[in-house]
A and B are shown apart, each in its own frame.
Chain A
Amino acid sequence: GAGVSQSPSNKVTEKGKDVELRCDPISGHTALYWYRQSLGQGLEFLIYFQGNSAPDKSGLPSDRFSAERTGGSVSTLTIQRTQQEDSAVYLCASSLLSAEQFFGPGTRLTVL
């Protein structure tokens, strides 16, 4: 498709389980971002990939969170040993060269 896609759209998991969230950016976009949005809140930056450069991981809240981007395209955000406070919508965005980021629909994560 033409836009950013994310899967799954919803994920319910039990506390302590690992989860993987996927993002397919717009084809050709060199930059990819992950954000977290708690209910009714703003966007919390998590991690940023730009081309082949080392990712900016400054927003990851703990070492349970990690992300990779394979082949400069698809990205996976992994949360290990999930906690209830990890429940949120995880948004992915991509951009080409400018500041204009295009967002996916998000993955709603619920940790029981």
Chain B
Amino acid sequence: GQQLNQSPQSMFIQEGEDVSMNCTSSSIFNTWLWYKQDPGEGPVLLIALYKAGELTSNGRLTAQFGITRKDSFLNISASIPSDVGIYFCAGQLANEKLTFGTGTRLTIIP
């Protein structure tokens, strides 16, 4: 099925560093979501965005809904060990089912 392109596929950072990842689509969406998945668990919703240009924060996480409606960005500031996991973006147009990104795997180097 259709998937969004997420980049980077994986990241290796040191604790305390900031993280940036993005998601792009060939088609527009009117909702963007960001999820985090820990090993052996289901994805957990982090941030939901409903308006082009919207910038929303959740603690150290900040996500933006791209103005073109074809992309979204997630930033994590001052990373900590519990940030490790896989981050997925997801987009929705109207009431269609979600389209998920390919995931960004975040690893923190000791």
* A interface, CB within 8 angstroms of B: 4, 33, 41-45, 48, 56, 59, 91, 93, 98-106
4 closest residue pairs by CB, A with B = A103-B42, A99-B92, A99-B31, A43-B100
**Which of the four size classes fits the interface of chain B?**
20 to 34
Q: Out of B42, B88, B103, which one reaches A4, CB within 8 Å?
A: B42
Q: DSSP majority for the A interface?
A: loop
Chain B nearest Cβ from A79, distance in angstroms = 18
B98–A101 touching, CB < 8 Å = yes
Closest residue of chain B to A93 (Cβ to Cβ) is B42
Q: Is the CB of B41 within 8 A of A100?
A: no
Segment among B43-51, B55-63, B67-75, B77-85 that sits at the interface with chain A: B43-51
Q: CA separation between A91 and B98, bound complex, in Å? A: 14
Q: What's the minimum C-beta distance from A18 to chain B, rounded to whole angstroms?
A: 24
Establish whether residues B33 and A99, one from each chain, have CB atoms under 8 Å apart when the complex forms: yes
> Does A42 lie within 8 Å of B42, measured CB to CB?
no
* Chain A residue contacts of B101, Cβ below 8 A: 42
Contact, CB under 8 Å: B1 / A59: yes
Most buried by A among B40, B42, B90: B42
29 of the cross-chain contacts (CB-CB < 8 Å) are A33-B98, A41-B103, A42-B3, A42-B88, A42-B100, A42-B101, A42-B102, A42-B103, A43-B43, A44-B1, A45-B97, A45-B98, A48-B97, A91-B42, A93-B42, A98-B31, A98-B48, A99-B31, A100-B45, A101-B33, A101-B45, A102-B45, A103-B42, A103-B43, A103-B44, A105-B40, A105-B41, A106-B41, A106-B42
